[in-house]
Amino acid sequence: MPAGLPYWRLSSFYFFFFAALGALVPYWGPYLRQLGFSSAEIGQLLAILHATKIVAPNVWGWLADHLGRRMLIVRLAALAALVLFAGVLVGSGFWWMALVMAGFSFFWNAALPQFEANTFNHLGQRPQVYSLVRLWGSVGFIVTVIVIGQAVDRFGLDLLPWGILVLFGGLWLSALIAPEGRNGQGDGAHVPFFKVLMQPHVLGFLLACMLLQASHGPFYAFFSIYLEDHGYSGSAIGALWAVGVLAEVLLFLVMHRLLPRYGARFLLTLALVLAVVRWLVLGAFVDSLALVAFSQVLHAATFGVYHAVGIHTINRYFVGGNQGRGQALYSSLTFGAGVALGSLVAGWLWDDWGGHTYYLGAAVATVAAVLAWVSLRREG
């Protein structure tokens, strides 16, 4: 590790952020169905969760770049998310739930991009070490999906909101102890943001990433419901989510060696090709536990490789005074617009198409793979 890196204080934030994600992504859809929402309504509500990423990170990224105090933004955002999420305990109507999800996610989605920028400020000249810090987020996700899967089998889904509130509390506390990194304001701050953005390889990279995340829409919105409808227990569903993220952890342990060796272009394209395979397998073989588990192992590529390449590449393209907005744009276009669009379309199609919706995801990932290969420069 680089000397002076506050490894555990940075890692604890990732642990709680993705632990909360591990409660929301696999189990929030089934929880909403238990409340009586239709597939279309579930798709719309989950799309809100991701759609706020389109606006929120850019607002807070602009503010953080101008104030130069990223951790202040992160701490306030984590506290606001904790307070606003408590609204799910007050009512359960569609419009109330939509309002609560829009409110808490507007702040929750603001926190991660600025913390990513802060982490890279701490890493300095060793950005490839990022994956060794970020892997603790994957560990948090694994712990949560396993524990909640067991709890769902034993107690049902009624306690889920309380568990998420506890995790949001941990996120806020971890934000309080994470230190502010040296701001890279002086490096490249004179380059206009839109001049960087409008370069063809930057646009191609962002569009390919957005399409990959759109292909994940049916997975994030309906994977747990899909498995539940095919007879999988809550524990089995949690274990399958954990398999995917465990594969991601193992990938993160070696990613700092793979990226310098193979470059961003090759690795991103490989991740996209494996996404095509993943969605085809999941759509065709849901009744085979072994093949569903195999599709989850591919999460190491479709998220782990993709995200490590993405965050590293954005950090190279957007530096200095553009850093916060660059991370925010990446988050808003991919995990925001991409996943929101994919979740929304999946919600419209699911009742008629069911698991065949994953074939549409495979088609979208195919387009993204071609775009990534054509657009990206070779990265050393």
Query: Tokens for 184?
Result: 């890279």
Distance CA 120, CA 114 (A): 10
pLDDT confidence of residue 328: 82
Note down the domain range covering 25.
7-177+190-375
Q: Residue 19 domain-assigned?
A: yes
Distance CA 136, CA 8 (A): 9
Q: What is the pLDDT of residues 59-68, one digit of tens each?
A: 887 888 778 7
pLDDT confidence of residue 69: 83
What number of other Cβ atoms are within 10 A of residue 116's Cβ? 25
Distance CA 102, CA 151 (A): 27
The amino acid that residue 114 corresponds to is: Q
For the chain, strand residue ranges (E) read none
Per-residue pLDDT of the chain (380 residues; tens, 9 = 90+): 556 788 899 999 999 999 999 899 889 989 999 999 998 899 889 888 878 888 888 888 788 877 878 899 999 999 999 999 999 999 989 999 999 999 999 999 888 888 988 898 888 777 778 888 988 998 998 899 889 988 988 898 999 999 999 999 999 999 999 998 776 544 545 678 889 899 988 999 999 999 999 999 999 889 999 999 999 998 899 899 989 989 988 998 888 889 889 988 899 999 999 999 999 999 999 999 999 999 999 999 999 999 889 988 888 888 877 877 888 889 889 988 898 899 889 989 999 999 999 999 999 999 999 998 988 765 44
Q: Residue 71 domain-assigned?
A: yes
Using DSSP, state whether 149 is helix, strand or coil. helix
- Domain total in the chain: 1
Distance CA 74, CA 113 (A): 9
pLDDT confidence of residue 3: 62
Query: Tokens for 376?
Result: 């990206």
Distance CA 123, CA 130 (A): 7
In angstroms, what CA-CA distances link 143 with 250, 255, 308?
Answer: 15, 22, 21
Q: Residue 1 domain-assigned?
A: no
* Predicted TM-score (pTM) of this structure: 0.78
pLDDT confidence of residue 380: 42
Q: Residue 100 domain-assigned?
A: yes
Q: Residue 109 domain-assigned?
A: yes
CA nearest neighbour of 241 among 19, 10, 39: 19
Q: Residue 50 domain-assigned?
A: yes
pLDDT confidence of residue 169: 97
In angstroms, what CA-CA distances link 102 with 29, 65, 150, 205?
Answer: 16, 24, 29, 28
Q: Residue 182 domain-assigned?
A: no
In angstroms, what CA-CA distances link 261 with 208, 264, 265, 271?
Answer: 22, 9, 11, 16
pLDDT confidence of residue 2: 59
In angstroms, what CA-CA distances link 92 with 95, 98, 113, 161?
Answer: 8, 10, 30, 12
Q: Residue 62 domain-assigned?
A: yes
CATH of the domain at 350: 1.20.1250.20
Contact yes or no for 170/17 (Cβ under 8 A):
no
pLDDT confidence of residue 317: 86
